[in-house]
Structure 1
Amino acid sequence: MFRSFTIALASLYVTTTGVLIAGIYYVHQVLGVEQWGIIALVSLLITLVVGGVLAKIAITPLREHFIHLERFSKETLHELNLPINTITANVGMLRKTHDDEKSLKRLERIEGAAEMLKERYNELDYLIKKQTEREKIESFDLRELIEERLGFLRSLYPTAQWQFNIEPFSAKCDRIGLGKVIDNLVENGVKYSPQTAHITIELHDKTLSICDHGSGMDEITLMRIYDRYFQNDTTMPGYGIGLSLVKRYCDRHHIQLNVASRVGEGTCVKLEFK
């Protein structure tokens, strides 16, 4: 596909250059025009017309390829949602009929794997929508968004302890993307807490703070946390793309991102809104 596109671009360049030279020769030699300003103008117009036509011909296959890829990605993502929900629903039913420890552990592993798939599904869903649609910038109450995400996250992590102090604040950015950012930061806090997770969420003076009391990170690790696919603990589930996505979102919406952490004491992430 891309080899054909490269050949098409090379052909476009050679053809356009040839048309330009031929146009100059025709106007100067055949028509006998001596004014080089007129020659340059006519040659430029001919080149623009021919180049535009050839560019359209060359780019059409690439556009069709991306349209097909976009359609395939959306259809595949939609079809993934059904088996994930089926697995989750059946695990819930099996829990009602199996109460021995061995079976419950197996169901727990299946449930954990389904949650990982759902997490990847949500990230891919957001990424595809962000690439194919323009982000919707809107004004909203950040407190309402945090409470909405907490309602989901608290059901997902029932053993975690929560402490929050949230003030009203009107934010203006991509609401869906910010919800993904909050989910990611909270999930990191839960994931890297050795036992019962203790998550503190505060919204004060245009600053959102999400802190945990988990394992924390040293200074060397802090320098690499935004690297794509980097994981501080490779035994944890995930692919190491979470904070990379968070950083890109914050940069895109001019949100100051600060991370403070100490080994054995936990990590605190602050989002400072303009």
Structure 2
Amino acid sequence: MFRNVEIALASLYVTTTGILIAGIYYVHQVLGVEQWGIIAFLSLLITLIVGGVMARIAITPLREHFYHLERFSKETLHELNLPINTITANVQMLRKTHTDEKSLKRLERIEVASEMLKERYNELDYMIKKQSEREKIEHFDLGEVIEARLVFLRSLYPSVVWQVDIEPCDVYGDRIGLSKVIDNLIENGVKYSPKNPIITITLRNYTLSLCDQGMGMDEITLIHIYDRYYQSDSTMAGYGIGLNLVKRYCDRYAIALHISSKVNEGTCVKLEFKKREENGK
């Protein structure tokens, strides 16, 4: 497909150049026009017309490719939703007939894995909608979003000690995207706190703070933390793209992002949201 685009673009260049040269020759030699200003204007006009037509032809294969890719992604997401719901429903049914501790622990692990699949489903759905510029921008209570995420994260990380102090906070933006930002920051805190993880979450005066007492980062690492695929410790799980996405979200919705860290003491991330009267919404 991309080979066809390359061929189309090369054809665009050659054809436009040929028509331009032929046009100049025809106007100057055949029609006898000596005013070079008129010749230049007509040449520019011909170039714009031919270039526009050829560019439309060249971009058609790429447009069709992304259209089919988006449709395939939506169909795949739809197919994933059914087995996830089936697993969840059957786990709930099995809980009614299995009461011994061993079976309940197994069911709990299945349920947590199902929730993780559901989160990935929501994330893919969010990314597809974001690419299509169809995010749902709205006012919502950030405190409620944090509480909802903690319900899931507490089951996922039972060994973590959570210190939570949040108040209602009305913000404006993309609720699903902000949920992913919170998940990423908390998961980073857990991931880089290998011993007795303690996560402190504070929401006061339109400022969200997420702090851990983990391994921390030095100044060199802090310089590169927003680089895509960068990881300070290659042995840790993850793709190294999380903070890059966090920063992009914060930049998009004018959220001030501050990260402070000390080696062997931990890391603290602060998100400063605009008050409702400040963003004019």
The bucket for the TM-score relative to the shorter chain is 0.7 to 0.9
Shift of 1:16: 0.5
The corresponding residue for 1:218 is 217
Native 8 Å contact 1:186 1:210 kept in 2: yes
Please tell me whether residue 164 in structure 1 is matched to residue 165 in structure 2: yes
- So what's the TM-score if we normalise by structure 2? 0.79
Q: How does 1:34-49 map to 2 (within 5 A)?
A: 34-49=34-49
Q: How does 1:34-113 map to 2 (within 5 A)?
A: 34-95=34-95, 96-97=97-98, 99=100, 101=102, 103=103, 106-113=106-113
User: Equivalent of 1:150, from 147, 150, 170?
Assistant: 147
> Distance in 2 between the 1:239 and 1:233 partners?
11
> Distance in 2 between the 1:230 and 1:23 partners?
53
The answer for unaligned runs of 5 or more in structure 1 is none
Which amino acid in the other structure matches residue 63 of structure 1?
R
Native 8 Å contact 2:23 2:43 kept in 1: yes
> Distance in 1 between the 2:107 and 2:193 partners?
22
CA 115–184 in structure 1, closer or farther in 2 if over 3 Å, else same: same
Instruction: Give deviations 1:156-205, integer Å, cap 9, x for gaps.
Output: 5155534213254x534334322321233234445555577544332334
Percent identical pairs in the alignment equals 71
Native 8 Å contact 1:166 1:201 kept in 2: no
Native 8 Å contact 2:207 2:272 kept in 1: yes
> Distance in 2 between the 1:222 and 1:106 partners?
40
Shift of 1:22: 0.5
The answer for unaligned runs of 5 or more in structure 2 is 275-281
Which amino acid in the other structure matches residue 165 of structure 1?
I
> Distance in 2 between the 1:266 and 1:116 partners?
26
CA 87–116 in structure 1, closer or farther in 2 if over 3 Å, else same: same
Choose 84-93 or 29-38, whichever is displaced more: 84-93
Q: Secondary structure at the match of 1:157?
A: helix
Instruction: Give deviations 1:60-94, integer Å, cap 9, x for gaps.
Output: 22111111111111121222122223223333444
Instruction: Give deviations 1:103-142, integer Å, cap 9, x for gaps.
Output: 555545444433333332222222111111254555x35x
CA 181–155 in structure 1, closer or farther in 2 if over 3 Å, else same: closer
Native 8 Å contact 2:212 2:267 kept in 1: yes
CA 47–263 in structure 1, closer or farther in 2 if over 3 Å, else same: closer
Native 8 Å contact 1:212 1:266 kept in 2: yes
- CA-based RMSD: 3.0
CA 224–164 in structure 1, closer or farther in 2 if over 3 Å, else same: same
Which amino acid in the other structure matches residue 145 of structure 2?
E
Native 8 Å contact 2:142 2:171 kept in 1: no
